[in-house]
Homo-oligomer: A and B are copies of this chain.
Amino acid sequence: MVVELLSVGTELLLGSIVNTNARFLAEKCACLGLSMYSQTVVGDNGQRLKSAVETALSRSDMVILTGGLGPTEDDLTKETCAEVFGCALVEDGHTRKRIEEFFRNSIYKDIPKNNWKQAMVPQGALVLDNDNGTAPGLIMEKDEKRLILLPGPPGEMIPLFNGQVEPYLRKLKPGFLLSRMVKICGMGESQVEDALLDLIDSQTNPTIATYAKTGEVHVRVTASALDEEAAEKLIKPVVKEIKKRLGRAVYSVREEEDLETALVRLLKKHELTVATAESCTGGLLAARIVNVAGASDVFKEGFVTYSNKAKRKHLDVSKSTLKKYGAVSRETAREMAIGGAFATDSDICVSITGIAGPDGGTEEKPVGLVYMACCFKDQVAVEKYQFKGNRHKVREHAAVRALDLVRRTILENCQ
């Protein structure tokens, strides 16, 4: 089954926003085993939109449209799709009630007149309740062709897709498609591919695909079978083999779990607290940990010690170390971690010091050079990295590696 995406909105053509909806839907469709050969963006223009819908339907079985379902006259997606399928728009009583309900709970006193337009749906369409806005999702079917209409704001589109469109799509395909994500930190994409080459090449069910993220690699394993149990049986040994080959580099096999969430889970499991002492990352590392809801159980405090004076005052880095080895050195990183653990009375303290650039690099200590240390129960591990890229990239990579350093330290010491 071939699906394609049609994003509707002049703001995309003007470059006002990034089309993150397309990435989300493309990955979802890939996971569901749907083939995608094209994605299109068109503006809020009836004629061009109609032509785009017709073209898409001529080459694909199904078109997922996002945007253009708002209450204004500019919003034409529903009207255009109804026209292409030759069906009338009729008022949906259930949706009308939901719109009334939505406004009753809002700060608006009167319901804007325009919004009643959103209760009109193409005759025969499947209406998908939108809990986060007034535009319902719609599924239209005709002659084995399908149009799926979703609102543009990701906060409305994503829950609608996950809750109602995905189950609908699953039912369309015979059998069951299941996928698992193996998340890896500390190895490059080509390293991961090398380690899994024979699996990637030989496997057809499940299939294996790698995705590079900042400082991470994600491996998606997708199996197709008659039912969920059979798919699970196909996936399980492959995921097990991948985990065996990559060892501790695998930080999670949970779809929704990112590196900081995995770390916070590990800290909670071992009832450990962590503190941070950052120089070049300037709070980025602490902010990643605090990203996790409930981080307060394991994270109490962090220091951003950007100046030498601050490193000495809060982390007790010695004057002679700073003078002899410099602020960006193995020795300073070590003392920052030890000092931070002591100052905060945390079980673990992780430190980062480096040269993020664009200035400050020398031949001996070039831009991208970063030292990080992790102090855990009187033991200190220090690591040296040479990151590539601009200031932003160097700092992001450093934060990722520091999160992973803490994770590996716990795994090595707490089993």
Interface residues of A (CB under 8 A from B): 12-20, 22-30, 36-43, 45, 48, 52, 155, 209, 211-212, 276, 278, 280-287, 289-291, 293-296, 299-307, 309-310, 314, 344, 356-359, 389, 391-392, 395
Q: In whole angstroms, what is the CA distance A61 to B397 when docked?
A: 41
Q: Which residue of B lies closest to A48 (CB)?
A: B37
Taking the closest CB of chain B, its distance from the CB of A6, in whole angstroms, is 10
| Smallest CB-CB A-B distances: 5 pairs | A282-B290, A15-B27, A283-B283, A15-B26, A283-B286
Name, among A25, A212, A303, A344, the residue most crowded by chain B CB atoms within 10 Å (CB to CB): A303
Would B294 and A314 count as touching, CB distance under 8 A? Answer: no
Residues on the B chain within 8 Å of A48, using CB: 37-38
CA distance A300 to B24 in the complex (A): 40
A15 lies within 8 A of B30 (CB): yes
Flag if B40 contacts A38 (CB, 8 Å). yes
Q: A304, B302: Cβ atoms under 8 Å?
A: yes
Interfacial chain B residues near A314, Cβ < 8 Å: 301
Of A22, A24, A282, the most chain B CB neighbours within 10 A belong to: A282
Nearest B residue to A292, CB-CB: B391
Selected contact of A45 from candidates B18, B37, B309, CB within 8 Å: B37
Chain B residues in 8 Å Cβ range of A38: 13, 40-42, 48, 52
Q: How far is the CA of A285 from the CA of B295 in the complex (A)?
A: 18
B209–A14 CB distance below 8 A: yes
Is the pair A300, B296 in contact by a Cβ cutoff of 8 Å?
no
Name the residue of chain B whose CB is nearest to the CB of A43.
B37
From A19, A276, A281, residue with most partner B Cβ within 10 Å: A19
A395 to chain B, nearest CB (A): 8
Provide the main secondary structure of the chain A interface.
mixed
A392: chain B residues at CB < 8 Å are: 291
Q: Is the CB of A36 within 8 A of B13?
A: yes
* A282-B286, A283-B283 given; 9 more Cβ-contact pairs under 8 Å: A12-B26, A15-B24, A37-B42, A37-B45, A38-B41, A39-B40, A155-B389, A283-B290, A302-B303
Contact call A15/B29, Cβ cutoff below 8 A? yes
Contact of A281 among B12, B290, B300, B310 (CB under 8 A): B290
Residues of B near A15 (CB, < 8 A) are 22-30
Chain B residues near A309 (CB-CB < 8 A): 300
Residue in A12, A42, A286 with the greatest tally of chain B CB atoms within 10 Å: A286
- Judging by beta carbons under 8 Å apart, are A306 and B310 in contact? no
* A71 vs chain B, min Cβ distance (A): 15
A285-B391 Cα distance, complex, nearest whole Å: 17
Given contacts A15-B28, A37-B42, contact A304 B283 (CB under 8 A): yes
List of B residues within 8 angstroms of A357 by Cβ: 293
With a cutoff of 8 Å between Cβ atoms, the chain B residues found around residue A281 in the complex are: 287, 290
| Measured CA separation A280–B305 after assembly (Å) | 19
**Given A15-B29, A25-B15, A29-B15, does the pair A300, B290 have CB atoms closer than 8 Å?**
no
Residue pair A40, B37 in contact (C-beta under 8 Å): no
* A389 nearest in chain B by CB position: B155
Residue of B nearest to A209 (CB): B14
Chain B residues with Cβ under 8 A from A17's Cβ? 23
From B12, B289, B307, contact of A39 by CB (8 A): B12
Among B25, B212, B307, B344, contact of A300 (Cβ-Cβ < 8 Å): B307
